[in-house]
Structure formats: structure tokens, C-alpha cells
């Protein structure tokens, strides 16, 4: 007879949502996580009264009303709208590509018709038929100016490879918005849980037994019958003991610093799109919650090669690892299954 109905491996969002539902259904649940804290990759911790996103910035966004209603049962969300900017050699551009971006890039371009004509002219100048790689794909979608200013360096840093050595399939689309709207997401709902994601996940896990610092494989070896069923939310290659090899993940190194100034960059997210600057982004965490603290906390994000033992982020899509759907995003979601 098992001690629990369910063993949930991973105290991140997937595990917490499942555990909450199972508990409400009257099941007995044990949640474990190898980390020393709950909340998985959305973990936030308090530094100088600021909620710091330790594993990278997380903005909650969805178009599904029931999902939005669900998360609002566990946290009150603020009205943060993600509007990152890009810094290329000290010039600032709005993201995602929209009329503010185009007007800055091409003085004199002021209307959507001007911008469409400019992009069409640049795309035509490249004269690319079937794109053979990511560079050709991007040039055939947005032309040279946007590619070289906002796509090339950032993408090469992210993937650790030249754009000409990356598959065209990574970017099927480079969405251009022909309005003066800097909202990064198209979803109907977005925001940040006030007081941090960790508090939200703790509310989801209320009344559920949670053990941190516990490795699944060790527990499963020591107590194979601990639960009738296991819900595994870790990397799928590790689940199978890397019998088919490892996925080709990328990783991120975070360099976090507390600064004795009130406002470092005036916005939560600044992308650094030139190749020469080794980090891809600087996050200034207080702006996610409109903080007015005297100090500020920033994190530089450095893309890195992944090796077993490192925290994985997005798996690279190579012919060897590409999922059936061909999309990078679906890998991330599979990993979360």
C-alpha cells in the first residue's frame, strides 16, 4: 500500500497546479523538489524589499479567461505591461518591432504605409528565394536594418552560433506591429503577482506536504512504493537517465547586483542587441512592481552552453533534437510535462 496517492516531482507551477487540484479532490500528495525552495523557475526572493526573479524575468500572460481567473485565486496581479527596449550601440529602440521602432530607425518614416514600404523595399533588395538559414530567413522577413540592429547580435549570443549556422525554422515569423504600441504581448491578460511568484505558489501549495532538497531518483530508489502515481515535472531526458543522450539545452548565467541608486535603467527589461556586449539583457526587478525603494537590484543575463548539472533553459533545436512539431516552444512545454 502506497503512502501517498501522488508523488509530484517539482514544486514549480506545473507541480503546484497539479498538487492543488489533487488536494482539492481529496487525494494525498507529496511534492518534492531538489532545490531548497518552492516555485521552480518562477521563484522570486526578497532583496531590499524588491522581488528578484532569480531564474530570469517572468511575466504572466494569457488570453484564457479561466487561466487568469485561476491564478488570481492565489495572488493579486498588478497592471504591469511588458514593454522592453533594445540598446544597440547606445541607441534605444522599442520592442516588439512597432511604429516607434521604425520611426526611430528610419527618420521620416511616420505612418504604417511608410513603414510597410520601407520594409518591403529592404526585403526586395536582399532577393532571397527559399531561406537556407536563420540569417536569410530574417532578412527575407524584415530586411537588413532591423536584422543587423535588433536581431543578429542578440540571436547569436542567445544560441551561441552565427545566424548563418542556425536553422531558418527558429524564426518562422518576426512579428511587426504597425501601430505605436510597445506592449510586448498580444494576450488579453498580463501582470505580475504582487509580492512575488513564490508567495503565489506557496498559496497553491497550502495544506500540501512539500519536501525541498529531495532528489527524485534517490527517493524513488529508497522508497519505490511511496506513491501510487508519480507526476514528473523535470527534464524528460533526465527522467530516462539520458539513455538516448541529452537534449541540447542552452543555459543562462545570472549576475545579480544591488546598486545604491534609485533607478538604473527606467524600465524592467533592456535587451543588448550588439554581439560585443556579452550579456543579452539587463533586468531591473523593481520595475515589475513599480517599486520606489531607495536601492535597486539588476541582473545581467549571459547565455551559456549547457552541460549536465547546469540549469537548463530552452533546448536548442537541431536535427537530432527537433520534436515532431518542429517548434522550440513545444520542447519547453514537453519538458514541463
- Where along the sequence are the contacts to ligand FAD (CB under 6 A)? 9-15, 32-35, 40-42, 56-59, 215-217, 233-234, 252, 313, 336
- Minimum gap (Å) between residue 295 Cβ and ligand FAD: 24
- Nearer to ligand FAD among residue 47 and residue 336 (C-beta): 336
- Nearer to ligand FAD among residue 14 and residue 100 (C-beta): 14
- Minimum gap (Å) between residue 231 Cβ and ligand FAD: 10
- Nearer to ligand FAD among residue 220 and residue 228 (C-beta): 220
- Nearer to ligand FAD among residue 97 and residue 197 (C-beta): 197
- Minimum gap (Å) between residue 4 Cβ and ligand FAD: 15
- Minimum gap (Å) between residue 313 Cβ and ligand FAD: 4
- Nearer to ligand FAD among residue 55 and residue 147 (C-beta): 55
- Nearer to ligand FAD among residue 18 and residue 93 (C-beta): 18
Give the span between the Cα atoms of 284 and 157, in whole angstroms: 20
State the pairing for strand pair 85-88/269-272.
parallel
- Minimum gap (Å) between residue 312 Cβ and ligand FAD: 8
Question: What are the Cα distances from residue 52, in Å, to 10, 48, 61, 116, 140?
Answer: 21, 9, 19, 39, 39
- Minimum gap (Å) between residue 144 Cβ and ligand FAD: 29
Amino acid at each position: 500500500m502506497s503512502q501517498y496517492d501522488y508523488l509530484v516531482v517539482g514544486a514549480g507551477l506545473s507541480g503546484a497546479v497539479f498538487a492543488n487540484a489533487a488536494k482539492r479532490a481529496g487525494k494525498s500528495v507529496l511534492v518534492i523538489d531538489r532545490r531548497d525552495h518552492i516555485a521552480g523557475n518562477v521563484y522570486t526572493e526578497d532583496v531590499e524589499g524588491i522581488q528578484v526573479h532569480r531564474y530570469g524575468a517572468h511575466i504572466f500572460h494569457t488570453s484564457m479567461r479561466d487561466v487568469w481567473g485561476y491564478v488570481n485565486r492565489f495572488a493579486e496581479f498588478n497592471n504591469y505591461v511588458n514593454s522592453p527596449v533594445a540598446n544597440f550601440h547606445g541607441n534605444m529602440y522599442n520592442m516588439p518591432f512597432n511604429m516607434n521602432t521604425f520611426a526611430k530607425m528610419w527618420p521620416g518614416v511616420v505612418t504604417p504605409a511608410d513603414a510597410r514600404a520601407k520594409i518591403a523595399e529592404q526585403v526586395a533588395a536582399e532577393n532571397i528565394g527559399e531561406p537556407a538559414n536563420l540569417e536569410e530567413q530574417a532578412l527575407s522577413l524584415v530586411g537588413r536594418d532591423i536584422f543587423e540592429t535588433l536581431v543578429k547580435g542578440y540571436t547569436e549570443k542567445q544560441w551561441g552560433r552565427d545566424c548563418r549556422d542556425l536553422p531558418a525554422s527558429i524564426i518562422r515569423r518576426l512579428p511587426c506591429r504597425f501601430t505605436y504600441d510597445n506592449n510586448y504581448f498580444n494576450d488579453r491578460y498580463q501582470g505580475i503577482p504582487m509580492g512575488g511568484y513564490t508567495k503565489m505558489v506557496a498559496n497553491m501549495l497550502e495544506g500540501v506536504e512539500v519536501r525541498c532538497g529531495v532528489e527524485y531518483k534517490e527517493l524513488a530508489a529508497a522508497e519505490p512504493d511511496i506513491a501510487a502515481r508519480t507526476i514528473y515535472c523535470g527534464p524528460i531526458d533526465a527522467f530516462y537517465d539520458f539513455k538516448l543522450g541529452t537534449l541540447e539545452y542552452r543555459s543562462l548565467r545570472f549576475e545579480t547586483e544591488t546598486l545604491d541608486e534609485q533607478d538604473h535603467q527606467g524600465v524592467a527589461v533592456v535587451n543588448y542587441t550588439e554581439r560585443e556586449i556579452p550579456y543579452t539583457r539587463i533586468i531591473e526587478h523593481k520595475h515589475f512592481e513599480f517599486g520606489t525603494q531607495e536601492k535597486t537590484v539588476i541582473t545581467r543575463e549571459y547565455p551559456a552552453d549547457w552541460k549536465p548539472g547546469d540549469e537548463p533553459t530552452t533546448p536548442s533545436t537541431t536535427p537530432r533534437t527537433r520534436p515532431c512539431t518542429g517548434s522550440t516552444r513545444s520542447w519547453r512545454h514537453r519538458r514541463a510535462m
